């Protein structure tokens, strides 16, 4: 029986993993398995940059949009689900395309015995922060235009309804964007303070997103790549260059 390899697309947030994953899936007759700890939630699609139906472009996607906002699966739960999805895709005689950059999930999944026994090919999308940073800022401005603030307000109301603030930060409320914007919903939304806190929240979201992307790149180069070399895993560095930013801030 023909063996179907596993392909993994890894890289920092905002670098274009979704687009590449879909392109590979269409080219290789594959299906995408998301490796993202926040896109698993039904809520927060804008904030977590969950792929839209248009972006999926007809490619089957797994492990997105299936958990309630306050669910908190363990790493082992996620890995077990991902392994089952890999088996399902291969049973359909298709190529599993793992797409993600979640540092908490990627390494445990790729280190699982079931994955280690198979042919694994990794594409690592790489960029420097000088190019990626402005792109991340532009993406957040785009999120604002897509309804980020209304989405964050919905999460704030849901948090209060479920009394989640009493249980510590978990679920979808961990997503970058919610903690930064939450203060603006605690004051009168017609007040100048509300708009000041909103602007500050978006600015903090940009800073924290850049810091997260930089941490992901650091982890990829200092932790993941050395392990791949030690294990003899085949990987390709895919450099991504971004043109100078020309976006306009929406606030």
Q: What are the pLDDT digits (tens) for 9-22? A: 999 999 999 999 99
Residue appearing with tokens 């908490």: 104
pLDDT of residue 251: 38
Whether the CB-CB separation of 4 and 94 falls below 8 Å is answered with yes
The domains of the chain, with CATH numbers, are 6-128+215-239 (3.40.50.300), 131-209 (no CATH)
Contact 140, 14 (CB under 8 A): no
Predicted model pTM = 0.92
Mean confidence (pLDDT) of the chain:
93
Distance CA 206, CA 130 (A): 14
Residue 241 has a pLDDT of 87
Reported as a single tens digit per residue, the pLDDT across 223-236 is 999 999 999 999 99
Query: Which residues, in sequence order, are bridge partners of residue 158?
Result: none
């Amino acid at each position: 029986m023909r063996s179907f390899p596993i392909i993994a697309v890894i890289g920092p947030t905002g670098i274009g993993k979704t687009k590449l994953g879909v392109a590979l899936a269409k080219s290789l007759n594959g299906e995408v398995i998301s490796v993202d700890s926040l896109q698993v939630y039904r809520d927060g699609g804008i904030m977590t940059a969950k792929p839209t139906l248009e972006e999926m472009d007809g490619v089957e996607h797994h492990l997105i949009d299936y958990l309630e906002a306050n669910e908190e699966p363990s790493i082992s739960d996620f890995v077990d689900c991902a392994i089952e999805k890999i088996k399902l895709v291969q049973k359909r005689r298709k190529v599993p395309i793992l797409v993600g950059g979640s540092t908490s999930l990627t390494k445990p999944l790729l280190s699982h015995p079931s994955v280690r026994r198979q042919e694994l090919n990794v594409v690592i999308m790489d960029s420097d922060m000088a190019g990626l940073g402005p792109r991340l800022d532009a993406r957040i401005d785009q999120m604002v235009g897509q309804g980020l603030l209304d989405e964050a307000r919905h999460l704030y109301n849901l948090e209060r309804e479920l009394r989640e603030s009493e249980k510590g930060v978990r679920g979808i409320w961990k997503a970058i964007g919610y903690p930064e914007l939450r203060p603006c919903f605690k004051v009168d939304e017609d007040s100048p303070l509300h708009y000041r806190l909103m602007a500050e929240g978006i600015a903090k979201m940009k800073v924290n997103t850049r810091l997260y992307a930089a941490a992901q790149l650091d982890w990829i180069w200092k932790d993941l790549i050395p392990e791949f070399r030690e294990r003899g895993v085949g990987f390709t560095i895919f450099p991504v260059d971004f043109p100078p930013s020309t976006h306009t801030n929406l606030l």
